[in-house]
A and B are shown apart, each in its own frame.
Chain A
Amino acid sequence: EAGVTQFPSHSVIEKGQTVTLRCDPISGHDNLYWYRRVMGKEIKFLLHFVKESKQDESGMPNNRFLAERTGGTYSTLKVQPAELEDSGVYFCASSQDWQLYNEQFFGPGTRLTVL
């Protein structure tokens, strides 16, 4: 069974440009999460999809970030326009059920560098 995949693995862009990150969850997983780690700090929650619906987007930092999950399969996270403080590693995770003790499976992350 394929794990969570993310694309690209690395992205280097200039301030003001737009970047789109993609996450393909494990097949059959209805729950998809985005997290990020910036500047060596702890990994922080961004948002949670259940199928194509946004269940919790309380961690989204501002309106420059837009997440979508059309059709309830893969998800994209767009940053427009990117700022220097957006640099970090963006992780995607998926889980099969929406239960308290469910295991979230993480992708390898996308390292974003904004110059």
Chain B
Amino acid sequence: TQLLEQSPQFLSIQEGENLTVYCNSSSVFSSLQWYRQEPGEGPVLLVTVVTGGEVKKLKRLTFQFGDARKDSSLHITAAQPGDTGLYLCAGNDYKLSFGAGTTVTVRA
């Protein structure tokens, strides 16, 4: 049984468009993290959210954590080809429980 569901599975957009990726958990974790992974590399941490209702911004990326601390979203504004990659959410209770990921492709 997968604890974290990510949607959509695939997303292809044109450069300059906005996109949103969703992560829904069946459990409450101590924190939720978002990672980005590129081919041939391991996941790289983007952000950690802890508090329900929390919003964090990282340049053109905005991360929201739901009030119940079970759902989260990643919004990218004015996407660029360099944003292409696999985006993963993970529940953190010391060990990480990952979602299956969303593959994002930004076309130039």
Instruction: List residues of chain A with CB under 8 Å of any chain B CB.
Output: 4, 33, 35, 41-45, 48, 56, 59, 91, 93, 98, 100-101, 103-104, 106-109
Bound-state CA distance A59–B94 (Å) is 13
Contact partners of A91 in chain B: CB under 8 A:
42-43
Bound-state CA distance A73–B99 (Å) is 29
Instruction: List residues of chain B with CB under 8 Å of any chain A CB.
Output: 2, 4, 30-31, 40-45, 48, 50, 88, 92-101
Given A93-B42, A98-B94, A100-B94: 11 more A-B contacts, CB < 8 Å:
A35-B96, A42-B2, A43-B88, A43-B98, A45-B95, A48-B94, A56-B94, A100-B92, A101-B50, A106-B41, A108-B42
Kindly count the residue-residue contacts between A and B in the assembled complex, taking CB atoms under 8 Å apart.
55
Residue of A nearest to B100 (CB): A42
Bound-state CA distance A23–B83 (Å) is 28
B83 vs chain A, min Cβ distance (A): 19
**B42 and A45 contact, CB distance less than 8 A:** no
**A100 and B30 contact, CB distance less than 8 A:** yes
